[in-house]
Amino acid sequence: MASFARTPAIYIVTSFLVLLSCSQQARGVNYTFARDATRAPAVSYYDYIIVGGGTAGCPLAATLSQRFRVLLLERGGSPYGDERVENMTHFTATLADTSAGSPAQRFVSEDGVINSRPRVLGGGSCINAGFYTRASDDYVLDVGWDLAATKEAYRWVEDVVAFHPELGPWQSALQRGLLEAGIAPDNGFTFDHIEGTKVGGSIFDDEGRRHTAADLLRYARPEGVNVLLRARVAKILFNVGGGRRPVAHGVVFHDSEGQMHKAYLNAGRRNEIILSAGALGSPQLLMLSGVGPAGHLRSFNITLVLNQPAVGQGMADNPMNAIFVPSPSLVEVSLIQVVGITQFGSYIEGASGSNWANPRHQASGGGQHRPPRNFGMFSPQTGQLATVPPKQRTPEAIARAADAMSRLDDAAFRGGFILEKVMGPASTGHLELRNRNPDDNPAVTFNYFSHPEDLRRCVDGLTVIERVIRSKSFQRFTYPDFSIEMLLNMTAEFPVNMLPRHDNDSRSLEQFCKDTVMTIWHYHGGCQVGRVVDAEYRVLGVDALRVIDGSTLNASPGTNPQATVMMLGRYMGVKIQNERLHAEGFRRRKL
């Protein structure tokens, strides 16, 4: 593939001046181009309409705005000034927040695993664990991206959102324990995906403040972009008929007051609508707009635009399993900072402190009130009481379980968890509509561990975790009288999903993997390259429509996808712009 990484000097200077002009907007709170969708006109026109202001949508909009008029539609609100997003210590509380205004919208897969999808400008970068790492060069080349251009796009992202974390004692012990367990060499700090043990980047700065994909909008040309918040896109509009291919030409969206708005593409055959609504949102919106499996769409009385059976297929989520390790020593608050990249396709990471269990705060005035903790992924509120039958998982039962856990001594929850997650994965599933409401979650099946290779990688990863726990480096943070079997049994009792448990969880690592599977929020697929979109991310069978986000991925990149999805938004924005300018300049020379 020919490189398009060389950007004209004038574009570099313009971008630099834009960045300087936004230097006072350290947190982006003064974006003059962002406003609530209630202030949008009933009808508007743009060169590009991007649906989804998330991990890919923000860098994509910022890039295209340098030359064109761009509308960015985000169904959620702003992350700025929202402590649930900006403060690292609120990580698990945000995931457990099921209120209508939460930046995290919970969904439960048909497999019984609790997950979250973003509902905020900045997307998944606003609610994730913050680890920043690139995909491997092999991944980049296999996908067909230009290697030099991807590295330039990564650097563009990293200048704004990526930081070098300082390891505390617990994370340092994990790093040394991984090396002692044989996950070598020691690669130190790097953004690169390299076999062995490394310290990766973080989107949390040294004050524990989160920096998100929304921060990349500081690169935008203010006159070139409008960002509408709480803009809920209902469907894409197509011109059809006459025996021609359907052509996307606009979108319908509603504001928070329920008022309908329409946005159309300006005249010009290179103007486009781009879906960046994520692995759930993009295939869902294609179906709601009439592009998808014909029989499924007709069952919801959706007018068929294009029979495309592959929409919603290939859904996957990298399964995660964790072992909780109680500590006799105090541990720091940490999210993912260290990763062990094994030879057998499993990645080992860990988190500690109050992101496992928020410490109980004493009530003011010396009262006896004991506010309940939030236990993140392991809480009864999140796990929905996996150990009881589904019909008994009532709000009252959840409240009783939460109260019982909150009465335990703080020392019982001091420690952290070491996790393994499976590369790929090889197991895939599908997505279907539940109804015609774009705000509701579709039905998603990931089929965790349906492929034996995934299960093998899980077991191999757990054996590495066992070696780390037993290592000399980790002795300070383990009780000598706690056996691995005890830790496995303890973890298996936590309500991490809605699956039944088995008696042999501590004796069979295969069963432990299946019973305690969790998400690592790396779900992808549904609009895969070669099935739903072509190599340039154009939707097959229709014109003026692309999908650029994690739904196009056939496998999760590296150990964590967020860096690559942000890079993809920038990469494709530069490519679209350069190819368009070249084509239009070529036509002008011909004239």
Known binding-site residue numbers = 120, 233, 521-522, 550, 561-562
Residue 96 carries which DSSP code? Answer: H
Q: Are 200 and 237 in contact (CB under 8 A)?
A: no
Number of H helices, E strands in the chain: 15, 26
- Strand 319-326's sheet: what is its strand order? 186-189, 196-199, 338-341, 346-352, 415-422, 319-326, 518-519
Q: Are 403 and 372 in contact (CB under 8 A)?
A: yes
Q: Are 560 and 351 in contact (CB under 8 A)?
A: no
Q: Which residues are catalytic?
A: 522
Annotated binding-site positions for FAD: 120, 233, 521-522, 550, 561-562
Residues 6+ apart with CB under 8 A from 493: 387, 501
Q: Are 272 and 48 in contact (CB under 8 A)?
A: yes
Sign of dihedral through CA atoms 278, 283, 284, 285? positive
CA gap 587, 591 in Å, rounded: 6
Sign of dihedral through CA atoms 517, 522, 525, 528? negative
CA distances from residue 573 to 316, 519, 538 in whole angstroms, order as listed: 26, 30, 13
* 3-class DSSP state of 272: strand
The tokens for 346 are 């499993």
CA-wise closest residue to 547 among 560, 559, 565? 565
CA distances from residue 385 to 270, 404, 466, 560 in whole angstroms, order as listed: 52, 13, 26, 28
Burial class (CB in 10 A: 0-12, 13-18, 19+), 45: middle
CA gap 37, 50 in Å, rounded: 14
Total Cβ atoms within 10 A of residue 114: 22
Instruction: Tell me whether strands 545-547 and 272-275 are parallel, antiparallel or unpaired.
Output: parallel
CA gap 273, 284 in Å, rounded: 16
- Peptide linkage before 326 cis (omega within 30 of 0): no
